[in-house]
């Protein structure tokens, strides 16, 4: 029974994705339009909240929608989702970016869980400060890769385990995928970056609450969403 449910969930989520994608591409849901709320989507498609959230994650990974904190999920501007040719170097970067994200999911999800029960008050504040710094750069319209990496490094540091720190420090800011794709549409879009910031907020909140499992899941969801976004480039 559980295996059957596990097989059905992706298909159900894909049905939601396909329907909303058609509405967006046909203009029924134009740029700037707000998606229905999660309860409304649950009722419309007769699916669970988990399925709805998986579908929204997929649409975000495709760059079709983006969250606005405190307001909801909105359809992005066409210029954000429009296809653009990648440079030869960017194309070569796709496989190694996917490999790095796979590695980061394995390492950082557990790092977030450990940080949740081991971080000191000063380390928690360092994570918070790193996220606030990224928010500041977003508002200024400045590059955010360094600030994004600093957030992840501060989480690794809060494990008080040097191997987590060393593993992430080895890659440096290039661990942040968008640093490898300067021509990718939407990579530096403000609404997209605010969505990233919102995901950071969830990780931070779980760590602050010493919720190890919540921190693990929040970090995994954050990095898995990124993985889906860049996997599409390989198609």
**Structural domain count of the chain:** 2
223 and 132 in one domain?
yes
Last residue of a domain, one of 30, 54, 81: 81
Residues 93 and 185 in one domain: yes
Task: Say if residue 72 is in the same domain as residue 154.
Answer: no
Report pLDDT for 146: 95
In terms of domains, do 118 and 228 share one? yes
Give tens-digit pLDDT for 154-204.
Answer: 999 999 999 999 999 999 999 999 888 877 766 777 878 888 999 999 999
Per the structure block, which two tokens stand in for 58?
A: 């997929």
Token pair for residue 117?
């029960």
* Whether residues 75 and 97 fall in one domain: no
Verify that 107 and 154 share a domain, yes or no.
Answer: yes
Residues near 151 by beta carbon (within 8 Å), at least 6 away in sequence:
127, 130, 131, 134, 200
Domain end point (choices 81, 107, 140): 81
Verify that 129 and 153 share a domain, yes or no.
yes
**pLDDT for 115-164, tens place per residue?**
999 999 999 999 999 999 999 999 998 989 999 999 999 999 999 999 99
My answer on whether 144 and 179 are in the same domain is yes
pTM of the model: 0.67
Looking at the fold, whether 115 and 219 belong to one and the same domain comes out as: yes
**Is the confidence at residue 81, as pLDDT, over 50?**
no
pLDDT of residue 88: 75
Last residue of a domain, one of 81, 108, 127: 81
CATH code for the domain in which residue 131 is found: 1.20.120.530
Please check whether residues 63 and 125 belong to one and the same domain. Answer: no
Q: Report DSSP letters for 166-183, one per residue.
A: HHHHTTGGGGSGGGG-TT
Q: Assess whether 204 and 146 both reside in one domain.
A: yes
What is the distance between the alpha carbons of residues 50 and 212, in angstroms, rounded to a whole number?
A: 20
Domain that includes residue 48, residue range: 2-81
Burial of 101 (0-12, 13-18, 19+ CB in 10 A): buried
Mean pLDDT value across the chain:
86
Q: What is the mean pLDDT of residues 12-23?
A: 86
Whether residue 112 is found in the same domain as residue 226: yes
With 50 as the cut, is the pLDDT of residue 6 above it?
Answer: no
């Amino acid at each position: 029974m559980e295996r059957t449910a596990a097989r059905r969930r992706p298909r159900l989520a894909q049905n939601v994705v396909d329907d909303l994608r058609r509405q967006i591409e046909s203009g029924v849901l134009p740029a700037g339009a707000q998606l229905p709320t999660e309860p409304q989507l649950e009722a419309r498609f007769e699916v669970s909240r988990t399925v709805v959230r998986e579908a929204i994650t997929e649409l975000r990974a495709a760059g079709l929608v983006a969250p606005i904190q405190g307001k909801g999920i909105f359809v992005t501007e066409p210029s954000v989702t429009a296809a653009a040719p990648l440079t030869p170097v960017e194309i070569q970067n796709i496989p190694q970016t996917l490999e790095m994200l796979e590695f980061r999911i394995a390492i950082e999800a557990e790092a977030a869980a450990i940080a949740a029960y081991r971080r000191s008050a000063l380390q928690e504040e360092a994570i918070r400060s790193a996220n606030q710094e990224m928010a500041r750069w977003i508002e200024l319209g400045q590059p955010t890769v360094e600030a994004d990496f600093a957030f992840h490094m501060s989480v690794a540091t809060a494990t008080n385990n040097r191997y987590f720190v060393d593993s992430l420090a080895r890659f440096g800011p290039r661990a942040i995928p968008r640093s490898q794709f300067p021509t990718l549409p939407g990579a530096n879009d403000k609404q997209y970056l605010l969505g990233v910031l919102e995901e950071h907020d969830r990780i931070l909140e779980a760590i602050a609450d010493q919720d190890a499992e919540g921190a693990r899941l929040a970090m995994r969801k954050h990095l898995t969403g990124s993985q889906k976004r860049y996997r599409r480039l390989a198609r």
